[in-house]
């Protein structure tokens, strides 16, 4: 189970990429797109594109390609973007506060409905239209606000205490910005935002070029 769940992680990442390409094509007035076009723009193969899309039911017509709007709609539904999600953010430090003001989440349907911190000096602070709550109120807020996803943006040392509350409150989705690996029950899904991994991909590319010269 956990294997198939993780294997498809890369397929899901590609779906997100296809969606961005389709939205781009839509804005340019394109009506249809072939798996070859999607492949070139996403840096994969047409066979991979067809395989990814067939995982969720096949929608292409041989020789006609995919309808841009239809496929975008279908992928949005697959990715859970056909509805809005209620998100709580824990940790209103530098990264946390940047996330509150970041418009990209709301645009995609993720609404930050509550913000919390452990630091007494931050509790009561206003950020946009939200007030920082004491982490002690976490369970209450999750229940009253119907929180489904929690963003963790606390320092590594604060993670264990926060995680006990988050998993205890029955939250099943976590976006982790803390520089540590979270240990969670099987029923909880965690996605890490790991900036160092992106840098590693960069230094890999630069090392390869240096080797070619």
Which residues of the shown chain bind a second copy in the complex (CB under 8 A)? 2-3, 5-7, 9-10, 12-13, 15-17, 39-40, 42-45, 78-81, 85, 93-95, 97-99, 101-105, 107-110, 148-149, 172-175, 179, 189, 191-193, 195-207, 209
Q: How far is the CB of 136 from a second copy (least distance, A)?
A: 25
Of the chain, the end-to-end C-alpha distance in Å amounts to: 44
The DSSP element (H or E) to which 190 belongs, if any, is strand 189-192
Q: Nearest distance from residue 195's CB to a second copy, in Å?
A: 6
Residue closer to a second copy (CB basis): 54 or 61: 54
Find the helix packing angle between 2-27 and 68-78, rounded to 10°: 150
Six token digits for residue 206: 């630069």
Q: Between 6 and 64, whose beta carbon lies closer to a second copy?
A: 6
Shortest separation between residue 69's beta carbon and a second copy, angstroms: 19
| Whether 94 contacts 117, CB under 8 Å | no
Please state the closest distance from residue 178 (CB atom) to a second copy, in A: 11
Minimum CB separation from a second copy for residue 88, in Å? 13
Task: CB nearer to a second copy: give 34 or 42.
Answer: 42
Cα(66)–Cα(29) distance, rounded to whole angstroms? 14
CB of 40 or CB of 118, closer to a second copy: 40
Q: Which is nearer to a second copy, 17 or 130 (CB)?
A: 17
Identify which of 155, 157, 118 has the alpha carbon closest to the alpha carbon of residue 135: 118
Strand blocks (E) in 30-167: 32-33, 66-67, 85-90, 110-117, 126-127, 130-134, 149-152
């Amino acid at each position: 189970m956990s294997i198939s769940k993780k294997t498809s992680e890369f397929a899901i990442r590609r779906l997100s990429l296809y969606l961005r390409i389709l939205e781009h094509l839509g804005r340019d007035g394109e009506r249809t797109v072939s798996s070859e076009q999607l492949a070139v723009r996403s840096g994969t193969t047409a066979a991979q594109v067809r395989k990814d899309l067939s995982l969720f039911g096949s929608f292409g017509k041989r020789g006609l390609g995919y309808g841009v709007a239809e496929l975008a709609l279908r992928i949005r539904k697959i990715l859970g973007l056909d509805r809005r999600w209620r998100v709580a953010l824990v940790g209103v430090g530098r990264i946390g506060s940047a996330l509150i003001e970041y418009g990209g989440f709301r645009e995609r349907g993720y609404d930050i409905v509550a913000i919390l911190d452990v630091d007494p000096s931050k509790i009561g602070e206003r950020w946009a239209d939200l007030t920082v709550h004491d982490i002690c109120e976490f369970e209450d807020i999750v229940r009253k606000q119907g929180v489904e996803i929690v963003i963790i943006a606390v320092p590594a040392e604060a993670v264990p205490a926060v995680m006990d509350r988050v998993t205890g409150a029955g939250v099943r989705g976590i976006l982790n910005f803390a520089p540590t690996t979270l240990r969670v029950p099987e029923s909880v899904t965690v996605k890490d935002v790991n900036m160092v991994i992106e840098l590693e991909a960069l230094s890999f590319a630069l090392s390869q070029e240096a080797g070619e010269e």
